[in-house]
Amino acid sequence: MPKLALLGGKKVREKPFPPHPVLGEEEKKQVLEVLDSGLLSGFIAKPGEHFFGGPKVRQLEDEFKEYFGVKHAIAVNSATAGLHAAVAALNLSPGDEIIVSPFTMSASASAILMNNCIPVFADIQEDIFCIDPRKIELAITPQTKAIIVVHLFGQAAEMDEIIAIAKKYNLYVIEDAAQAIGATYKGRYCGTIGDVGVFSLNQHKTITTGEGGIVVTNNDEIAQKVRLIRNHGEAVVAELGITDIVNVLGWNYRMTEIEAAIGIAQFRKLDKLNNHRIELANYLTEKLSQFTDYFDLPVVRPYNKHVYFVYPFKYKEKNIGIPRDLFVKAVQAENIPITAGYNRPLYLEPLFQKKIVYGTQGCPFSCAFYKGNVKYDKGICPVAERMYERELIITGICRYPLTKHDIDDLINAFEKVLENIGELKEAYIKV
């Protein structure tokens, strides 16, 4: 029986995995066109054509509009900026509450605080890790004005139920589709089902501009407000004759021409890259099916297209006999990229525990505008906490240009660790 690398044995895999993202001649060609033009940013904070950015930015927006079948696509310099602008564009007020999942990247909630609104966390579903519609309804108060739905890991949340709740209580719905570009729910693209959606083009995403994001909506008023927020709107509203200046403040969320150029080339590869992820994920599921005594494999709703930004599965500690984190550490030592858990539930971070954002007095939580009493105690979202602490494992091994041979290395590492559980447990007890 081969000795575990964690205990001094040879690794299952010695060579490193190829890097992400994969950039090629298409991206170079697009960037060279920008360099040859000499126009690195086409934005000017004045009324007129240049208020909307340069030709590459507008081309990228047009391609997003066509692909997703939406009226408006607005390029920004990050998905965080997009979420901030999306919340602001709803004309919400300080002290308004927005319900959001705690099991997400920090920006899903910090965008709420950027607008002096209050994040209220609702727990996730056990199987698909997205926000639980039943928990959303329980979290609604007279202060609730919106829901931010995070389509986590590449699969859609239960949008029909969420939209029905939003209509019942007259709430806006923002879709954080940062990890789900190209994913679908009942034939509709994630990001296009609610009032406004946000995609990420960050370095680590399926397609990338380095940093960047796209806001999509079919609502003309929301689109106009997002464009104003993107480009120093307070400097142009008078000349444009715009009277709705709520939340129009001097942010610079503009995307550069070079970023947009890379985005154009990357976006044209989206279907290829997503199909590659799906193929490898299906292969990984097939191979892991021999280990269902030890893991709960991904659940995919039959009406969803899961695009596997990462591949998530659950660990059965009782059946394996060692803590999840030790198992993950042993697999990582074999040079296989897996991660124990995901982000800590956001309400456990110091910002929420201390309720300190603006100044020293606890604003916006303590401001006179806020009439609620939000709680961030440990235990408010037990499913998210359990996934973080004990059960969830994720891997990014399904991405392009990895192959089934790379998946086989993961399976070999799992087999090796599982065959050596007794040795690993003994070493763990000694430590």
pLDDT digits (tens), the chain, 431 positions: 689 999 999 999 999 999 999 999 999 999 999 999 999 999 999 999 999 999 999 999 999 999 999 999 999 999 999 999 999 999 999 999 999 999 999 999 999 999 999 999 999 999 999 999 999 999 999 999 999 999 999 999 999 999 999 999 999 999 999 999 999 999 999 999 999 999 999 999 999 999 999 999 999 999 999 999 999 999 999 999 999 999 998 899 999 999 999 999 999 999 999 999 999 999 999 999 999 999 999 999 999 999 999 999 999 999 999 999 999 999 999 999 999 999 999 999 999 999 999 999 889 999 999 999 999 999 999 999 999 999 999 999 999 999 999 999 999 999 999 999 999 988 886 64
Enzyme catalytic residues: 205
- pTM here? 0.96
DSSP summary character for residue 119:
E
Q: How far apart are CA 400 and CA 297, in angstroms?
A: 21
CATH number of 25-269: 3.40.640.10
What integer pLDDT is reported at residue 2 of this predicted model?
85
What integer pLDDT is reported at residue 1 of this predicted model?
67
Q: How far apart are CA 49 and CA 316, in angstroms?
A: 58
Long-range own/partner contacts, residues 228-235 (CB < 8 A, 24 or more apart) = 229/84, 229/85, 229/88, 229/89, 229/253, 230/74, 230/76, 230/81, 230/85, 230/254, 231/43, 231/45, 231/51, 231/53, 232/45, 235/45, 235/46
Please give the single-letter amino acid code of residue 374: V
Listed by start position, the domains of the chain span 25-269
Alpha helix segments (H runs only) across 115-253: 133-139, 159-169, 220-230, 237-240
What integer pLDDT is reported at residue 427 of this predicted model?
82
What values do phi and psi take at 354, rounded to 5? Answer: -95, -10
Q: How far apart are CA 140 and CA 48, in angstroms?
A: 42
For residue range 400-414, what is the model confidence (pLDDT) as tens digits?
A: 999 999 999 999 999
Q: How far apart are CA 30 and CA 271, in angstroms?
A: 19
H or E segment and range at residue 259: helix 257-267
